[in-house]
Structure 1
Amino acid sequence: MDIHSAYNRAKEMLIDGATYDEIKSCTGLREKEIKRIRRNEIDNHF
């Protein structure tokens, strides 16, 4: 999975309410990266 599709998939999973562990196992991203996606791209819109 390339980095852009991993970020997009992680964003979708965060919106759907998936846990960090589920997202890490599916996308291969680190928890730090997932938290950055949540802070910068999701929390700003809600």
Structure 2
Amino acid sequence: MTNFEKRVEELTAKHPHLTKDEAIKIVTEKNARKKQKRNARSNNAGTNKG
């Protein structure tokens, strides 16, 4: 089981009213936000050097 599948199952277990598709959407959006923040921090760190 991948980490993604594990997170989806944990989310559906914690919130039984969610469907699996809704949980997948939530996890995917969260991953996108985390990736965007990580890229912003790495880009910002590169511009401050010098």
**TM-score using structure 1 length:** 0.41
**TM-score using structure 2 length:** 0.39
* Greater RCO (CA < 8 Å, at least 6 residues apart): 1
Greater C-alpha Rg: 2
